[in-house]
Structure formats: C-alpha cells, structure tokens
C-alpha cells in the first residue's frame, strides 16, 4: 500500500464549478499537509499548508484535514481556466529532523471556459 | 525575491555519461532538498541539506548519485555514470525554517538515451 493515494484524474469541470480534490494516507505520523499546484513544465507551487486536523481557507481555496480518517481535501470555489494544472498533495511527519515530503501522484484538473 | 533556480532546464545525455545538475536556493534558506519524478510515478525525496551538511540522504538511489552543497549556498547533483532509469525531472527546493512550506524550482528534465 502506498503511503499517499491520490486519484490522478483527469478531472474536467466547467468554469465556475466547485472542485474537490482528495488524498488518503496510511502513515499516522504525518502531521503537516500541503497542497501544491504545478503547471506544465514548471515546479510545484505551494498553495496551502496546514498542521494537524482542521480547515484553512485562503481566497477561493479551502484545505481540510481529517486525521481520524487519514483524509485530506482541497476545495476550489468559482474555478477559473487559470486553475487548470496538476494538483499535488504532500505531507510529512513532525519532530526530529524529519523534513521529507511524501507526495501523491497528482490530479490533473482542466477548467473549461 | 528571486526563486529557486535550476539549470540546465533540460539535458539529454547518453548512457554512461556524466551529468551535473545545479540548484541555487533562495538566499538565506539554510534547507535545500532534491526530489525526483520519474515518468508515471510520484515526486520522491532524494536528500536534504542543512547549510553544507547532508541531513538525510536516505532517498538517494545508489552511489552513482553524488550531491554537494559548497559553503551552504548552491548545490550540485552529479550522476555518474548515467543509466536509462535515471531519466526524469529533478527538482530542487529550499526553505528557511523547518515548519514552513518549501519553494520548488522549475526542475531539470534529464533524458538518458
């Protein structure tokens, strides 16, 4: 079983739709959860960074973490064509010198005008 | 603030040759990371520097890979001799603190033929 599972999609939605992206994980030591956006031929760009369980909102983006279910989500409201990209979840444990991120495979999102 | 810079952006080499990738982190970022994505797989951790010291190199595939970080500034990743399975995109990232998101470079796309 992979440590992080992410549906690769592709996911295609009309402009203005609400998008829900999800990851599940198996390692209960993960405490920090991130969502990255990656455009073609570019590096991952940090969108959301959360610690432990709960919600975090930033503009049209909301990140949710449910540690009891080992499930994280990213919601995009009022999606725009410029949101078309690959979305990657990433996570890591806390404590000591553990900085290593474990990534999901990424979900390819297309927002159609 | 300048981002993480990687070069070359693309390298095509023959099996058995040597290639050196370079990463310039964001100025002042003590933490520097190398990650790799091979086709169809997740982005995977290779190693982590704190200043000039290797903190964790558990993800390095084998001894054909050598990473250095001279004076705690830029870093190089050398592959010698390159094999076909080394093809992929090599990302560098940096961070100032442990508990902060990482900024990724655009990556070096390595093709071994």
pLDDT, tens digit, for every residue of B6-52? 999 999 999 999 999 999 999 999 999 999 999 989 999 999 999 99
Amino acid A98: pLDDT: 66
Amino acid A67: pLDDT: 93
Q: Are A4 and B42 inside 8 Å of each other by CB?
A: yes
Amino acid A96: pLDDT: 65
Q: Which residue of B has its CA nearest to A37?
A: B104
Residue range B48-74, pLDDT digits in tens: 999 999 999 999 999 999 999 988 899
pLDDT bracket for residue B2 (50, 70, 90): confident
Question: How large is the average pLDDT for residues B81-92?
Answer: 97
DSSP letter at B100 equals S
B77 exposure class (CB count in 10 Å sphere: 0-12, 13-18, 19+): buried
CB atoms within 10 A of CB B107: 26
Residue B31: its chain A contacts at CB < 8 A?
99
Contact B111, B11 (CB under 8 A): yes
Amino acid B99: pLDDT: 62
**Across all residues in chain B, what is the average pLDDT?**
94
Q: Which residues of chain A have pLDDT under 70?
A: 96-98
Q: How far apart are CA A36 and CA B102, in angstroms?
A: 10
**Across all residues in chain A, what is the average pLDDT?**
93
Q: How far apart are CA B69 and CA B53, in angstroms?
A: 8
B97 or A73, greater pLDDT: A73
Partner A contacted by B41 (CB < 8 A): yes
Q: How far apart are CA B92 and CA B33, in angstroms?
A: 6
């Amino acid at each position: 079983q992979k440590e992080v599972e992410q549906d690769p999609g592709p996911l295609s939605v009309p402009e203005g739709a609400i998008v829900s992206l999800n990851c599940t994980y198996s390692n209960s030591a993960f405490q920090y959860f991130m969502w990255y956006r990656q455009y073609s031929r570019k590096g991952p760009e940090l969108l959301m960074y959360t610690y432990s369980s709960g919600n975090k909102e930033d503009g049209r983006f909301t990140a949710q973490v449910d540690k009891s279910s080992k499930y994280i989500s990213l919601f995009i409201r009022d999606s725009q064509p410029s949101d078309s990209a690959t979305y990657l979840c990433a996570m890591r444990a806390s404590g000591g010198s553990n900085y290593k991120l474990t990534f999901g495979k990424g979900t390819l999102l297309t927002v159609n005008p | 603030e300048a981002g993480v810079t990687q070069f070359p952006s693309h390298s095509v080499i023959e099996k058995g040759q040597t290639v050196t990738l370079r990463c310039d982190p964001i100025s002042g970022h003590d933490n520097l990371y190398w990650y790799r994505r091979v086709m169809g797989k997740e982005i995977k951790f290779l190693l982590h520097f704190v200043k000039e010291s290797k903190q964790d190199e558990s993800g390095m595939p084998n001894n054909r890979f050598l990473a250095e970080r001279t004076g705690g500034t830029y870093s190089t990743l050398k592959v010698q001799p390159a094999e076909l399975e080394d093809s992929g995109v090599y990302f560098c990232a940096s961070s100032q603190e442990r508990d902060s998101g990482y900024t990724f470079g655009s990556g070096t796309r390595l093709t071994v033929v």
